[in-house]
């Protein structure tokens, strides 16, 4: 055995006999390589020479060449590694003691388990070193620790290729539920009827981009949706990350929207008793809602990841809102801002899939709609700083209020459009909404509501 093997010198978990028998089994029957390579990689072997042998086997397999003692020895010789692997004699000895019917799956499982234990030890030692050096903030080290352990857990994931039969059998309720639309999993309702009809709601694992020019109402619409999800008939936990506004400002917006109180009057303090009563009722409702707000201005994706995992473990998780993408910064070095935004959008998509929760991410648009002649409606090409946002998103929606561009038109007052520009699993189109500026609130048009659904106008004393 090579004396330079760090894992063995330190007494780390390893089972060299299982490693030897796996390699020996492949030498005898090279058709087993595909079965093994689907689960193990070279770094899972503790012994350095076993890593090299397995790597050379992989190269032979890629070239569709037979794997046996001679071909592996020749491949090692090409890389000047045969001597470090104790020569042809060691390759010949690999199948010594191998049962007539080798338990290849059992050997592979042992190797994987030992490799995971070693990775846990290495990760823990690295974290200890970082903590002892004191060069980073404790919260940053903690977030990194959670992410590292999560990745180690993901590496054991059993997901893989499944046949239609296996997918249907694994579906809750079996084939009857799979084929019955009324029993299929539906997304979260946003409270906007036409939007829900077109999208089926917000679905777990989806990245939804809500974009607009400044002052169009991105934050207002996102808060309206978050409030509907957290305070609706079937409340779901909502996490809001605001990189622009304080948590007090966000809460004020939600209170005024829920109580239908003029936000300017609220800030100035000129409220009558009826308005105060409505605010108290709205405050009690929000206080009881599973709604959580984080207004850390410099939060990054790793921080969000760690916070969401804790929140999901403690309270569950139904929806994540991030306001907004361009204010975030990525970890690491990037050649330009476009690459950084691309990394963030991809990371958010992966995070939504991992946590199985819809992520509603707000985004700025470029100035193109402002200078466009005639129609100022946004287009997908207007997404600011990165085309990968469009690529990663499952849904891209734009807010457009023509009254901003034509303030003299009384007939446009309060009209708004939610433009569904991209939907991976459904149609695109335009949804007409009402924007109530004094309450910073979007609502369905009266024509989209039933007689019993229209909200009664508040009566001020």
Alpha-carbon distance 359 to 206, whole Å? 6
**Are the C-beta atoms of 233 and 281 separated by less than 8 Å?**
no
At residue 214, the 3 state secondary structure works out as coil
Catalytic hit among 140, 146, 244, 390: 244
**Are the C-beta atoms of 414 and 426 separated by less than 8 Å?**
no
**Helix, strand, coil abundance in the chain, percent, nearest 5:** 50, 10, 35
**Are the C-beta atoms of 49 and 85 separated by less than 8 Å?**
yes
Q: Are strands 395-400 and 415-423 parallel, antiparallel or unpaired?
A: antiparallel
Task: Give the CA distances from residue 442 to residues 50, 222, 225, 227, 401, in Å, rounded to whole numbers and listed in that order.
Answer: 63, 10, 9, 12, 11
Q: From the centroid of its chain, how far is CA 355?
A: 6
* 75 is a catalytic site residue: no
Contacts 24+ apart (CB under 8 A), 34-38: 34/61, 35/104, 36/104, 36/108, 37/61, 38/160
N-term to C-term CA, the chain: 89
**Are the C-beta atoms of 239 and 311 separated by less than 8 Å?**
yes
Query: Edge-to-edge, what's the strand order for the sheet holding 415-423?
Result: 291-294, 238-242, 319-323, 359-364, 207-212, 395-400, 415-423, 429-436, 441-444
Alpha-carbon distance 359 to 346, whole Å? 12
State which H helix or E strand residue 241 sits in: strand 238-242
The residues pairing with 321 across neighbouring beta strands, listed in sequence order, are: 240, 360
Alpha-carbon distance 394 to 264, whole Å? 36
At residue 162, the 3 state secondary structure works out as coil
Catalytic residue numbers, as ranges: 244
């Amino acid at each position: 055995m090579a004396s330079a093997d760090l894992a063995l010198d330190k007494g780390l978990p390893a089972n060299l006999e299982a490693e030897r028998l796996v390699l020996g089994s492949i030498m005898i029957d090279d058709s087993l390589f595909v079965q093994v390579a689907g689960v193990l990689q070279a770094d899972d072997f503790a012994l350095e020479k076993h890593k090299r042998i397995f790597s050379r086997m992989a190269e032979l397999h890629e070239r569709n060449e037979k794997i046996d003692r001679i071909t592996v020895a020749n491949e090692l010789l090409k890389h000047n590694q045969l001597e470090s692997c104790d020569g042809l004699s060691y390759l010949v000895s690999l199948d010594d003691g191998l049962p007539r019917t080798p338990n290849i799956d059992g050997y592979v499982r042992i190797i994987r388990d030992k490799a995971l234990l070693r990775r846990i030890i290495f990760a823990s030692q690295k974290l200890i070193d970082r903590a002892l050096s004191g060069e980073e903030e404790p919260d940053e080290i903690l977030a990194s620790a959670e992410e590292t352990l999560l990745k180690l857990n993901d590496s054991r994931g059993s997901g893989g290729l499944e046949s239609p039969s296996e997918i249907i059998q694994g579906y809750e309720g079996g084939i009857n539920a799979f084929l019955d639309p009324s029993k299929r999993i539906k997304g979260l309702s946003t409270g906007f009827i036409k939007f829900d009809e077109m999208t089926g709601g917000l679905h777990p694992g989806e990245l939804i981009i809500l974009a607009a020019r400044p002052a169009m109402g991105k934050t207002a619409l996102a808060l309206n949706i978050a409030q509907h999800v957290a305070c609706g008939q079937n409340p779901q936990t909502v996490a809001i990350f605001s990189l622009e506004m304080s948590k007090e400002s966000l809460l004020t917006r939600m209170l005024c929207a829920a109580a239908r109180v003029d936000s300017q009057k609220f800030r100035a303090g000129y409220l009558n008793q009826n308005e105060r009563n409505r605010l108290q009722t709205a405050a009690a409702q929000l206080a009881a809602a599973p709604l959580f707000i984080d207004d850390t201005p410099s939060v990054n994706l790793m921080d969000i990841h760690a916070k969401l995992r804790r929140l999901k473990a403690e309270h569950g998780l139904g929806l994540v809102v991030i306001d907004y993408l361009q204010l975030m910064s990525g970890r690491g070095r990037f050649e330009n801002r476009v690459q950084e935004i691309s990394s963030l959008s991809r990371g958010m998509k992966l995070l939504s899939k991992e946590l199985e929760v819809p992520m509603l991410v707000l985004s700025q648009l470029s100035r193109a709609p402002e200078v466009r002649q005639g129609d100022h409606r946004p287009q997908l090409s207007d997404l600011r700083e990165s085309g990968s946002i469009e690529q990663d998103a499952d849904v891209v929606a734009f807010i457009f209020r023509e009254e901003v561009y034509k303030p003299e038109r009384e007939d446009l007052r309060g009209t708004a459009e939610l433009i569904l520009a991209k939907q991976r699993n459904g149609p695109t189109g335009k949804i007409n909404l009402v924007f109530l500026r004094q309450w910073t609130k979007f609502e369905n048009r009266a024509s989209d509501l039933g007689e019993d659904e229209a909200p009664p106008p508040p009566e001020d004393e």
